[in-house]
Every structure is written in C-alpha cells, then in structure tokens.
Amino acid sequence: MKKRNILGTIALLVIGVVFGAVLVSGFGLVRPGYASVGNPNPPLAELEPEVQKFNDAFVNAAEAVTPSIVQITTVSTEANEAHEMFKFFFPFKDDIPQERQGGGSGVIISNDGYILTNNHVVEKATHVEVVLHDKREFEAEVVGTDPLTDLAVIKIDAKNLSAANLGNSDNLKVGQWVMAIGNPLSLTSTVTAGIISAIGRNINIIQDSYGIESFIQTDAAINPGNSGGALVDLRGSVIGINSAIATNGFTSNYIGYGFAIPINIAKIVSEDLITNGEVNRGYIGVRIEAVNPDVANAIGLDKPKGILIQQVMEDGAAAEVGLKEGDVILKINGKEVNEPNELQSYIAAKRAGDKVSLTIFRDKKEMKKDVTLKPRSDNDTKNVDKKKSAKPKKKLEVSEKKLESIGLSIRNVKDDELKTYKVDNGIMITNVDRFSKAESQRLARGVVIVEADRKAITSVSDLVEIVDAKKGSSLLLKVAYQDGTTRLVGLEVKK
C-alpha cells in the first residue's frame, strides 16, 4: 500500500511537469514579456477639461520650442598636462597638444543663424559644428563670448530658421512650472519638466570677482549636454539659458537641481556680442557685500537690508557722485536690493553710459544718488579709494589684550607691518575665539583693525576704550588684509 502511494505521487509530479511544458512551448499559452500588461484593451480614463488643458500646455510649449534647439559639438586643443615623472623620461611628449571633443546645446535667436549658448560650451574651441532639429549639419563661427555671464553667441550660414521666442525673466515666480529642452547625454531634443525652485541664486561657479551670478534654480532634470539649452515657461517662451547643475562630487550628472541664466541678461549680452563682438557693460565701481544683523545694528538700520559698500573704486562712477565706503544701497531705480547678485544682475542688463538712481542709507538717513555707469577699468581691482583716516598720535599704554566681549586677542603693530598692509594705522588680530561672532564674520589671525566705530585705531588702548563704551550693542570695524583690500565688519559686543 505504501509503495503504491509513492508511485502515485511520482506519477502526478511527472504529469504536472509534462503538462506545464506543453502549456509553455506547445500552445504558446504563456509568453515572456517585460511586464504584465493585464487587459490588452483597458478602458481609457476621461480627463477633466482643466487637466487636459494643463497637459496640452506642456505639449504645445515643447512643440513650439524644440525646433529652435540645436546640438553643438566642439573640438578644442589643449596642452598635454603629463605627470612630472613622465615629463622627466619623455620631455618631448609634453609638446604634443591634445584634441578634445565636447559639446552642448544652443538656442536659435534669429532666423538668419545666430545661436545663443554657454561660454563654457565653445570656450577654446577650434571647430564648432551645429546639428539642427531637422538633422541638417553646419559649421559654426564663434561671434563672441562673455565669461562673466557664461554666455556666447555662434553663427551658422542658414536662412529661414525657427527662432525661439525670448520671454521676460523679471516676472518669474518660485513654484512656476518650467521645462528644460536640450541634448543631455547625447540624447537629442530631450524635454524635462519641473518648477522654479528659487531665483537669484549665487553658486560661485564663475571664478572672477566681476562674475555675474543670479541663476534661476529648477528641479527640471538638467544633465551634461543640456548646457546652452532653453529653460521654457508654459507659454513657450525661453526664460533662461541652462548653464549648471548640482552634483554629488563623484559624477557630473543631475542629482536634483539645475541652474539657468535669466534670459533678460542673455538678451543684452547677445545683442552686444552680435553688434560689437564684446559686451559694453556698465559698472558702478564698488565692492559690495550683503548687510548682516551686526552691521545693521552698528550703522543704525532697523533690520538687515540693502547692500553694504565695502570699497569705492577711485575714478569710478560711484566715486564721481560721492558714494562712500560704509554706505548702504537700499534700492536701484526704486527696486529693493538685499543681495549683491541682485544688484549685479540688474546692472548686467545696463550698458556703460546708462544712468541709474540709487537710494542710499548713510548716517541714519536716506538719500538719492544718480549714477552714470562707466566701463570697467583694468585697474579696478587694485585702484580703490585711497583716502585714509588722519593719523592720530599713538597711545601705547597697553601693547596686547584679549577682548572677551568680542572674541578677539589683539596687539600693537610695528611700522614695517603697517607698510606691508598698506595702511597708516591699526592693530593686529593675534587670535580669534572658536565659534565666536568674530570667527563667523571671517576675522582671523593676521588681520589688521584700522577703524572702530568710524574712528582710527592706532593702539590696543584705542580699541579697548571703544569696546568698553559699546557693550550691549554692535560695533562696526574696518579691517585690512595683506593684499591691500579692506572690509567693514559688524560685531556684537557682549555685556
């Protein structure tokens, strides 16, 4: 009986295997696939009219702008940066230049072949090729570049092209839907969607003290190859030129945010590059910094606002109308500005010779100054306002001191040190307390304090006297660095 049961079980197993094989291979009843598809003809969901309208906005905008987006391929020649040991054994190899291929995207801005892209896409290129949406290929000429905004214009010999509609980036709102259109990772005519995550972003990607960064931040996916492509609103207007992405440091691919240059800046730059081959940009002639709470308290502002003038360039536009170090720019042409890049991006849309009206805060009062912008001078970074405080008689009662109330240790300076720092007076910071306000304001050992509360400092005793009088309030310091630059710093003085 037991033996019969075992044989019966085996027979059932064999029948099951054979039957399964027949189902799979013989009758085609089970077929491989990428995913279970369920009902091959499911009923279609009815879209609400508003949802359909919203969906159509994306479709229509993509159809309108995509023909205006081009793919750019470049060839550049760079020096062979071989390892030092390789150079030692094969010195002649270092003389052989290397050719590199790169590329990105571009936006057609005129029917006769002008294309807007990024400076970093065509920088140092010896050959530039453009592929249109209809797959036609053209060699392109670099018309002009502007490294300070990372913009460039190239030109192809073609007519009757589909030029993009350039919108107005001044009216953008955080949360607004946008699309990024370009050629990421060599995938032509790619459209991604997201929202504007922030405006006026400074990400310190342009390595120049005059660099203009006021990026539109978006979570629409932007990857390598998107550079120079379009950021588009739902009306089909280009409102930005895609330029940079946030990465994790290990790859150069998208991890959540991309950045675009506002189209209003791009329009001014492209017009100048097409007309003159260079940008005729105007400058106020100041070095600036945002106002923090301690500076605001020290100068009598009711809250941190405006842009602090740290230095005034000699013979610049600001110097000509009497702007001073320590003035705060509250408005430009009636528009409030609270971050340096807000002011810079506004000025970037102006040209040398244009006039702007500044609302200034000085000595606890507001005043207006009309400034005629001037072109940048090659000496601007060195040619700062040379007016210095009168040199009072030194008091040497105390030669060094630790000031607990502001987190600094200080000492008197020697005459040769004053020459090194290009100042007539001051005292040296010898130590800064960790986690103190002084450390957060980027004060450090080796910085010279030349003024406190608008008074010249010639000895440790001078500063001790002023700090004692300012306990419980904020103090404005002027400090100097070895490179000859100065800076205003606000510090809270503990009781």
Q: Contact 467/448 with Cβ under 8 angstroms? A: no
Q: Contact 487/289 with Cβ under 8 angstroms? A: yes
Q: Count CB atoms within 10 A of the CB of residue 422.
A: 17
Q: Which of 105, 120, 197, 237 is catalytic?
A: 120
Query: What is the sign of the dihedral through the CA atoms of 79, 83, 86 and 88?
Result: positive
The two tokens of residue 469 are 């009088």
Helices (H), 142-276: 263-276
Angle, helix 263-276 to helix 340-348, in steps of 10 degrees:
40
**Separation CA 364–CA 96 (nearest Å):** 63
The two tokens of residue 304 are 């941190």
Strands 165-166 and 237-245: parallel
Q: Contact 104/183 with Cβ under 8 angstroms? A: yes
Q: Cα 493 from chain centroid?
A: 34
The two tokens of residue 188 are 């032509």
Q: Which of 227, 237, 270, 474 is catalytic?
A: 227
**Separation CA 225–CA 253 (nearest Å):** 10
Is 150 one of the catalytic residues? yes
**Separation CA 279–CA 272 (nearest Å):** 5
Contacts of 223 (CB under 8 A, 6+ apart): 184, 185, 245, 253, 254
Buried b (16+ CB within 10 A) or exposed e, 235-248: ebbbbbbbbbbeee
Contacts of 385 (CB under 8 A, 6+ apart): 311, 312, 313, 314, 319, 325
Q: Long-range contacts made by residues 408-415, C-beta under 8 angstroms, separation at least 24?
A: 408/432, 408/433, 408/436, 408/438, 408/443, 410/449, 410/460, 410/463, 411/460, 412/459, 412/460, 413/448
E strands, 263-364, where?
Answer: 286-290, 307-312, 328-332, 335-336, 355-362
Q: What dihedral do alpha carbons 417, 419, 423, 424 form, nearest 10°?
A: 90
E strands, 132-285, where?
Answer: 137-146, 151-156, 165-166, 177-182, 190-201, 215-218, 230-233, 237-245, 258-262
Is 227 one of the catalytic residues? yes
Q: Which of 68, 105, 146, 150 is catalytic?
A: 150
Q: Contact 446/479 with Cβ under 8 angstroms? A: no
Q: Catalytic residue positions? A: 120, 150, 227
